[in-house]
Structure 1
Amino acid sequence: MNCSIFGKQTNQYNMDVAIPFESLSVSEDWTFKNVKSTEQWTHGYHRYPAKFLPNIVKKIIEDYTKEGDVVADLFAGCGTTLVESKIHGRKSVGVDINPVAQLIARVKTQPIDPKELDRVFKDLVNSLEFYDEKNYHNIEKHDRIDYWFFPENKYRIAYLYDLISGLPESQKIKDFFLVALSHILKNCSRWLQTSTKPQIDPDKVPVSVFFAFKKQVKTMIRKNSDFFKELKKLQYSNVESQIFLQDARKTEIEDSSISTVITSPPYVTSYEYADLHQLTGYWFDYVSNLLEFRKNFIGTFYSYGTELKTESKTAQDLIDQLKNIHLRTAKEVANYFNDMKMVADEMYRILKNDGYAFIVIGNTTFKNVKILSAEIFSELLELSGFEVHDVIKRSIPHKLIPTIRDKTTGKFTTVANKNSKKVYPEEYIIIARK
């Protein structure tokens, strides 16, 4: 069975024959080998775990959307979908529960006149000459700041934060420099540089704050200039792009207002985004209680409930296996897929009739149990009223996500661990129509 979407022919998945997604052949058209599109435009402003590959979004927009369409991403993260939508002249809206993500996405989609940025940056650099450490010896910030930062860098970060916050310019310009400051926090802290997990490196010599800040701003200014000029040339500078601090399970997006959803949900039993962005959260006063902050996120064991029932038959079989191995994990997985059902319902609500959802998601293994996230999400979409038209399998050679787990513990590890194995070698693009 071939599915035709806006005239595009696809052959990846026969919806009339139930076969495991893993049996599908890899589509070379969607693999993007040797392509590092995360550095184009403003995509490289800020490090972000499991970053959505811009080329996937670019290809979806170019192949399956048209002028006048409105694109939405309910897990907007650092704004990849929104940036690609804007550079393609598509109005877009994104939501994310993480205020750090919202800040990054907002800055990445709002280019600034390069001359104005250059002027403000020169003023900031000149102001660094007036730094006096003793003025910050009594600074009051979250206790965890002292855990992550040596005093010398702590004082300099506080000075920079005050400088940026006190700028007489617009919030848009302030946010640009705050993103630069946010990006360097890991480099300037005791956080193990090679790890996405929060852990101290006892041997690390943190980077000098002022040096790192100036270097990052210069990089961002160059990227901003390219984005600004290209949008102006294409006459897309005023194309609307909005990012809201909202929950993907219940957004404020209007009913039937979206043409296309393009998103990549968080992986089950995967990242603790609240933990990974805690440095910015503490410095920018987004977080006061990390435990409470964690509970807002989907796909976290901090928010698991007690329900072990789910609407998906495949998910239920999985949960029944897990509960005999590790009850807490079973509850976490059940909670995750119940949340994902709410997200599927939300996607259906906001899409126009005949609108399409493109969901990029991968399978994994945990506690030696195969978690068929893609298959399960397809079931959830159908339960919400969608017709799943196609499933495309792609390899992920450049996706910024750890691909190694310990076979016994299920925790992320490295290839040096003899008990390790790859868990995200491929992922799937589910194409569903309302």
Structure 2
Amino acid sequence: MRTSQAFLQKFDTEVNKDWSFAESRSVEHLTHGYHRYPAKFVPQLVKKLIETYTQKGDKIVDVFAGCGTTLVESKVHGRTSEGVDINPVAELITRAKITAIEPKKLQKRYERIQSAIQGYEPFRVAAPEKHPRIDYWFREEEKDKIAFLYHIILPIRDEHLRDFFLCALSNILKNCSRWLQSSTKPQIDPIKVIREPFAAFEFQVKRMLKKNGQFYEELSNNKALNVKCKIRLADARRTKIRANSANAIITSPPYVTSYEYADIHQLTGYWFDYIADITSFRKDFIGTFYSNNKETETIVPIAQEIVQRLIAIDKKSAGEVANYFNDMFAVATEMRRILKPGGVVCMVVGNTTMKGVKITSAEAFAQMLSMQGLKIENVIKREIPFKLIPTIRDKKTGKFTTLDSKNKKLVYPEEFIIVARKKV
């Protein structure tokens, strides 16, 4: 399959200001602000996609559910939804975010937790032996208090209540650790002013209580409290979602460097016993640098051109990128299987660079969908003024860096929305 000039010209388009949401700075609306998460979908973008390409009663799927933005917005709009993610931390966050709990019931449980916290006595509670990396990231005082919170939340029988408070605890771990606060890269800040866990937990829960109340009221007003919405821990390449069941797939795939998602969530992973070995955990992610893949072949022409340019510079990187695109082709195959005839894929993706080579992921993904028999209906270019993603990389290493670096280079300033439809 050759890549036609007409196909590539779809991406040579002006930025569409209607899709940039430059005035919509907040990603905190409703439950969207429960937990920090890299590369968050702008809720306004998902809302516009839902309103443009779906109807009430449709089923929406997100095969890279992340922290659940698509699922929350689907529920608000009265669409049933199903999402999968390979990251157990993402699954926890999403479970909490998609569940509106009756506010009085939630407040009553929180008062019981507050009472337990008031009975905490230092030196009578010791953190259990967990992964050695917890000792690396946490001082003893904070570690004991976090362990105390974890062990008063874990026995809660109501899974929705338990998920709510575990999500709150998860989001304060970075603040209460030695992790450099402003960095998504794991590194210690030797002069950090570390938050006291009980105060941080109280602040976090109060914020979430308010947002849950807003979510509950919104769903009640929309008569959407009982709209089906579920998240499962699963691989986007093998979702087990029923064939021909989705009216729309709204998703944003990981970038080539998605191993960073695994690293960013390691604190929760270790505390909640989701992971035992970070290296093994990384290997499950699409786009990982930790794959043992040696192949440099892919059946997607645009992807293969990228790989060939990388081979001349760094064969290992070329193999990693080939592996990434082969994995994403498997995802495209899975998305076609899930979609109903006439169903639509809305894929939000940005291009980047590696080793000085432009990685035109958007064009490659569109070609994958075309190879699956889907028709590319539209390509929209939008600015990403407030998307929560690191935007500065070192030109030589490709790793995230800082503004004062001599080798700094902006990445992901724009992204594309690819709209493709499965033939009837």
Asked if Structure 1 and Structure 2 have the same fold, meaning a TM-score greater than 0.5 normalized by the shorter chain, the answer is yes
Whole-angstrom CA distance in 1 between matches of 2:254 and 2:381: 18
Whole-angstrom CA distance in 2 between matches of 1:22 and 1:414: 30
Q: Deviations over 1:165-188 (max 9, x none)?
A: 123x41110110000000000000
Residue 281 of structure 2 aligns with an amino acid whose one-letter code is F
> Given that residues 259 and 289 in structure 2 are in contact (C-alpha distance below 8 angstroms), is that contact kept between their aligned partners in structure 1?
no
1:124 counterpart residue number = 113
- Cα distance, 1:307 vs. partner? 1.4
Residue 44 of structure 1 aligns with an amino acid whose one-letter code is G
2:257 counterpart residue number = 269
Residue 192 of structure 1 aligns with an amino acid whose one-letter code is L
**Higher alpha-carbon deviation: 126-135 or 212-221:** 126-135
Query: What SS class does the counterpart of residue 120 from structure 1 fall into?
Result: helix
Pair 1:135–1:55, CA change in 2 (3 A): same
Residue 425 of structure 1 aligns with an amino acid whose one-letter code is P
Whole-angstrom CA distance in 2 between matches of 1:66 and 1:24: 28
> Given that residues 403 and 422 in structure 1 are in contact (C-alpha distance below 8 angstroms), is that contact kept between their aligned partners in structure 2?
yes
Residue 36 of structure 2 aligns with an amino acid whose one-letter code is R
> Given that residues 30 and 394 in structure 1 are in contact (C-alpha distance below 8 angstroms), is that contact kept between their aligned partners in structure 2?
yes
**Higher alpha-carbon deviation: 75-84 or 283-292:** 283-292
- Cα distance, 1:16 vs. partner? 8.1
1:375 counterpart residue number = 363
2:166 counterpart residue number = 178
Whole-angstrom CA distance in 2 between matches of 1:166 and 1:271: 32
- Cα distance, 1:150 vs. partner? 0.2
Where in structure 2 are the equivalents of 1:249-264 lying within 5 Å?
A: 249-264=237-252
Alignment of 1:60 onto 2:25: no
Identity within the alignment, %:
56
Where in structure 2 are the equivalents of 1:227-266 lying within 5 Å?
A: 227-266=215-254
Runs of 4+ residues over 3 Å off in structure 1: 18-22, 135-138
Residue 409 of structure 2 aligns with an amino acid whose one-letter code is K
- Cα distance, 1:270 vs. partner? 4.5
Alignment of 1:278 onto 2:257: no
Instruction: Tell me how many residue pairs correspond in the alignment.
Output: 419
1:349 counterpart residue number = 337
> Given that residues 381 and 414 in structure 2 are in contact (C-alpha distance below 8 angstroms), is that contact kept between their aligned partners in structure 1?
yes
Whole-angstrom CA distance in 1 between matches of 2:125 and 2:280: 29
Query: What SS class does the counterpart of residue 18 from structure 1 fall into?
Result: helix
Query: What SS class does the counterpart of residue 273 from structure 1 fall into?
Result: helix
Query: What SS class does the counterpart of residue 30 from structure 2 fall into?
Result: coil
Whole-angstrom CA distance in 2 between matches of 1:69 and 1:304: 40
Alignment of 1:17 onto 2:6: yes
Pair 1:310–1:109, CA change in 2 (3 A): same
Whole-angstrom CA distance in 2 between matches of 1:70 and 1:37: 26
2:377 counterpart residue number = 389
TM-score, normalisation: structure 2: 0.96
> Given that residues 364 and 424 in structure 1 are in contact (C-alpha distance below 8 angstroms), is that contact kept between their aligned partners in structure 2?
yes
Alignment of 1:149 onto 2:155: no
Whole-angstrom CA distance in 2 between matches of 1:263 and 1:20: 23
Whole-angstrom CA distance in 2 between matches of 1:22 and 1:416: 32
TM-score, normalisation: structure 1: 0.94
Whole-angstrom CA distance in 2 between matches of 1:304 and 1:263: 27
Query: What SS class does the counterpart of residue 62 from structure 1 fall into?
Result: helix
Whole-angstrom CA distance in 2 between matches of 1:284 and 1:135: 22
Residue 192 of structure 2 aligns with an amino acid whose one-letter code is K
Q: Deviations over 1:364-385 (max 9, x none)?
A: 1111101100000111111122
Whole-angstrom CA distance in 1 between matches of 2:126 and 2:343: 56
> Given that residues 148 and 190 in structure 1 are in contact (C-alpha distance below 8 angstroms), is that contact kept between their aligned partners in structure 2?
yes
Whole-angstrom CA distance in 2 between matches of 1:226 and 1:323: 52
Query: What SS class does the counterpart of residue 177 from structure 1 fall into?
Result: helix
- Cα distance, 1:271 vs. partner? 4.8
Alignment of 1:77 onto 2:71: no
Pair 1:416–1:383, CA change in 2 (3 A): same
Pair 1:408–1:20, CA change in 2 (3 A): farther
Alignment of 1:87 onto 2:69: no
Whole-angstrom CA distance in 2 between matches of 1:194 and 1:319: 33
Residue 387 of structure 2 aligns with an amino acid whose one-letter code is K
Query: What SS class does the counterpart of residue 354 from structure 1 fall into?
Result: strand
Whole-angstrom CA distance in 1 between matches of 2:367 and 2:37: 29
Among 34, 40, 44, the alignment partner of 1:51 is 40
- Cα distance, 1:22 vs. partner? 5.4
Q: CA RMSD in A?
A: 1.3
- Cα distance, 1:303 vs. partner? 2.1
> Given that residues 37 and 55 in structure 1 are in contact (C-alpha distance below 8 angstroms), is that contact kept between their aligned partners in structure 2?
no
Residue 55 of structure 1 aligns with an amino acid whose one-letter code is Q
